[in-house]
Amino acid sequence: MPPVLALDGPSGSGKGTIGQICALKFGWHYLDSGAIYRGLAWLANSKSVAADDVAGLVALAESMSLVCHVQTDDVAQIEINGRIVTDDLRTEETGEMASKIAPLGSVRAALLAMQRRCRRTPGLVADGRDMGTVVFPDAEFKVFLTASAEIRAQRRFDQLKSKGFDVNLARLLESIQARDVRDSSRAESPLKPADDAYVLDTSALSIDEVVACIMDHVNQR
Ligand SMILES: Nc1ncnc2c1ncn2[C@@H]1O[C@H](COP(=O)(O)OP(=O)(O)OP(=O)(O)O)[C@@H](O)[C@H]1O
Ligand SMILES: Nc1ccn([C@H]2C[C@H](O)[C@@H](COP(=O)(O)O)O2)c(=O)n1
């Protein structure tokens, strides 16, 4: 099987940014699994499928086609059913909905095969919450990125502000904290480091320093 670098962690810990840089450095494919949950949430919102309509969500998941276009200078562009929806997926409304549907076991099961199909030669960098624990438990490399909620909220604030969104730091912090609780306390595939993961707190590290730590870790193994 092609090698996998599983990159897990809470919202805003840098998985997407760092994952894309690592994928480009290795020349590997990149999977943004959060985009899959956000994509399903966005589709559900746009088709008025409720967060508790499990059969409706599973049907949407099974018919969803998602392509992730890695960029050298920006977040990966996400295409769903033929349409680029990157900015729609990053809204707090979509993130909230994603976090509500993510605990549903049959929804997760419907999205599992789609994620595993991304494991292709020469390798895959996969970012999410359960890459190292559930989706790719046999991954060669497992990294769990973390940072304080305050730092993550500030990073998200700066990111959204630079894209012209009208954002409120206190509300972002509240939303990140609520999502942390939901993601880590759910019964199905909770957010947690795999037993064999390298846990890296990025609160005081620059993006380049985080990438260097991961490269050192990979090269040592
Ligand atoms: N070590 C770092 N230092 C400074 N800024 C960072 C660092 N890591 C990430 N960032 C910035 O924080 C923001 C959030 O990062 P990113 O979107 O990669 O997080 P994420 O973990 O993928 O979040 P989510 O799970 O919600 O998709 C981005 O603007 C990114 O550039
Ligand atoms: N492997 C994954 C990826 C994401 N989720 C859920 C949890 C998040 O609240 C939501 C959006 O993810 P993000 O884009 O913020 O990384 O999707 C999950 O349960 N499992």
Q: What is the pLDDT of residues 7-22, one digit of tens each?
A: 999 999 999 999 999 9
pTM of the model: 0.93
- How do residues 48-69 score in pLDDT, each as one tens digit? 999 999 999 999 999 998 888 8
Sheet holding 124-128, edge to edge: 29-32, 124-128, 4-8, 141-146, 198-201
- The residue contributing the CA closest to ligand 2 atom 5 is 34
pLDDT recorded at residue 66: 86
Fold (topology level) of 1-28+124-221 = Rossmann fold (3.40.50)
Candidate CATH numbers 3.10.20.30, 3.30.470.30, 3.30.70.270, 3.40.50.300; the one for domain 30-121: 3.40.50.300
Beta-bridge mates of residue 200: 145
98 CB near ligand 2 (under 6 Å): yes
The answer to the question of whether 19 is labelled as a binding residue is: no
Q: How far apart (Å, rounded) are the C-alpha atoms in residues 46 and 23?
A: 31
Domains 1-28+124-221 and 30-121 share a fold: yes
What is the domain partition of the chain in residue ranges?
1-28+124-221, 30-121
Q: Name the closest ligand to CA 183.
A: 2
Percentage of the chain beyond pLDDT 70 is 98
Cβ partners under 8 Å of residue 106, min gap 6: 54, 58
Amino acid letter, 187: A
What is each CA distance from 37 to 64, 66, 88, 120, in whole angstroms? 11, 11, 13, 21
127 pocket-lining for ligand 2 (C-beta < 6 Å):
no
ipTM: 0.97
- Hey, what's the torsion of the CAs at 98, 118, 129, 195, to 10 degrees? 160
Q: Give the pLDDT band (50/70/90) at residue 74.
A: low
